[in-house]
Amino acid sequence: MENPLITVQHEHIVITSKAHKQLRLHVSHYLQTPAHLLCQFAENENNLFAAVFANSHDTPQLARRATSFIRAYLFIADVGAMEIAVLQAIDASLRNRPRS
């Protein structure tokens, strides 16, 4: 069994499972406390009104928290590999956008 597919788009990270369920993640610097990163979730086009936070210099912690949340929605075969893939996607997403 494989982990869901992760693609990094300009504004979002999209995670798609074999069952065609899709989560969108939006990672940004939290406006109220810029020292924190915020990861918000949407399923298909519906906002889930859920988020995870981490220190702005601790993207591995944000990836762990995001992966934990993702596991509630999608089957993940290899959690460790998924955390690494989410971390790489978060880093790529932040690198490709200016800090707001």
Tokens of 97: 């956008």
pLDDT of residue 50: 92
pLDDT bucket at 99, cuts 50 / 70 / 90: low
Lowest mean pLDDT across 30-34, 62-66, 88-92, 95-99: 95-99
Strands (E), the chain: 5-8, 13-16, 22-29, 36-43, 46-55
Task: Determine the Cα–Cα distance for residues 57 and 73; give it in Å rounded to an integer.
Answer: 27
Residue 73 has pLDDT above 70, yes or no: yes
DSSP state of 9: -
The mean pLDDT value of the chain amounts to 89
Instruction: Give the domain ranges of the chain.
Output: 5-95
| Average pLDDT score over residue span 54-69 | 94
pLDDT of residue 76: 92
pLDDT bucket at 52, cuts 50 / 70 / 90: very high
pLDDT bucket at 95, cuts 50 / 70 / 90: confident
